[in-house]
Structure 1
């Protein structure tokens, strides 16, 4: 395996799962991050996120959450209809198994600090990053415009690490009332969080392959993300 490559993991339900990994040069040990895909697969954009975090000194794994219905899918951002069968096939049980396999792999690596692991996700992955923070003993987690997070409000009591949320104020897919539902649940659960609504950004603002890409919002959110991660994973 090179420092940036796909590997295959065994998940507890018996399915093989590929994952993209990016490891910094050197012996480490390094803190680690699980990067969680959008609804379009572990594509070039998601791999670039993994590589950028690796460049910041993190060991990174990006599991293929669609592995039960396809292999290394990379779906065009303009073709959400093709993503739907795979998106609709995922279950919380399956996601939990995938997350546990990813976490276990990181903990097995000599170059990884076993208890300095976090997660970050975008769109679908924003929701999965929240799930990860409830089912894994993460130090920290980040969710960018996670659709459906309001449906997980009852799970807020199980959050392990502080959670950073980003939303686009122009995102018609995630209205303010849905944001309020999940943030109020996290607050009522007494969990640490940062909630950031970027008023001038839309859904997908961080992805430079989307029409909704907003370079300034992406730059500002990324700077906040790196500080948030470093303060907890590198302290």
Structure 2
């Protein structure tokens, strides 16, 4: 499928401006997909993911979440220290405002439904977006800290899909079980998949932890899940 890529600057409700990278399929009226970055910025990998989802038929948009502290920020995958101050500067109100602005942009493009997907830090953002916005569905890849957000579970709108890495020392299997128990206790629809041989970041082919087999299988589940809920 032919696609086109675009860059936009959005006005956020708090008065700040946020850059957004988008990949658009050729057909009009495509569903929208918010693509939330890892800690390392809206880099080449995140842009490639947007393009891949656009080829599958979604209008994919990745907002730059560090726009208040470091517009255009990108860091190497071995330099988490550079990203940490910008992660720590993010606030609940700012996250909600950024997600609303990006979702509003997708709705303004004629998207009949909007979902979200995110990786690492973005996996947590995808979970929060599902609580903050009336999303049709949301996908979290090894999202950190979700086990601490039990109070947001009753606010989830669409079903969740979680991908976890069995060898992840940062987002551990215990964290995953806690998240599953929280959603189960509230009767929220979810699917949870653990890839036993994978480590944190397994989806990214630019990271040393890339695990191609797990990434392929996770993508197959993700596409089926999104097609069920966003078409």
Indicate the TM-score class for this superposition, using the shorter chain for normalisation. over 0.9
CA distance in 2, matches of 1:6, 1:30: 18
Unaligned runs of 5+ in 2: none
Kindly indicate whether residue 27 of structure 2 is the aligned counterpart of residue 15 of structure 1.
no
The residue that corresponds to 1:144 in the other structure is 141
- TM-score (norm: length of structure 1): 0.95
CA distance in 1, matches of 2:108, 2:171: 37
CA distance in 1, matches of 2:43, 2:130: 23
Look up the SS of the partner of 2:34 in the other structure: strand
CA distance in 2, matches of 1:187, 1:196: 15
The residue that corresponds to 1:64 in the other structure is 64
Residues 119-170 of structure 1: per-residue CA shift (max 9 Å, x gap): 0000000000000000100000000000111111121111100000001000
The alignment covers a number of residue pairs equal to 229
Of residues 181, 185, 190, the one that matches 2:182 is 185
Kindly indicate whether residue 158 of structure 2 is the aligned counterpart of residue 157 of structure 1.
no
The residue that corresponds to 1:226 in the other structure is 223
CA distance in 1, matches of 2:80, 2:124: 17
CA distance in 2, matches of 1:31, 1:142: 15
Kindly indicate whether residue 196 of structure 2 is the aligned counterpart of residue 199 of structure 1.
yes
**Cα distance, 1:195 vs. partner?**
0.7
Residues 34-82 of structure 1: per-residue CA shift (max 9 Å, x gap): 0000000000000011000000010111000000111111110001111
Unaligned runs of 5+ in 1: none
CA distance in 1, matches of 2:114, 2:163: 20
**Cα distance, 1:174 vs. partner?**
1.4
CA distance in 1, matches of 2:84, 2:6: 27
**Cα distance, 1:176 vs. partner?**
2.0
Look up the SS of the partner of 1:30 in the other structure: coil
Give runs of aligned pairs for residues 156-175 of structure 1, distance below 5 A.
156-175=153-172
- Tell me if the contact between 1:154 and 1:185 (Cα under 8 Å) persists in the aligned partners: no
Look up the SS of the partner of 2:149 in the other structure: helix
CA distance in 2, matches of 1:83, 1:132: 21
- TM-score (norm: length of structure 2): 0.97
Give runs of aligned pairs for residues 42-191 of structure 1, distance below 5 A.
42-110=42-110, 112-113=111-112, 116-191=113-188
CA distance in 2, matches of 1:29, 1:6: 19
CA distance in 2, matches of 1:214, 1:176: 18
Look up the SS of the partner of 1:23 in the other structure: strand
Look up the SS of the partner of 2:67 in the other structure: coil
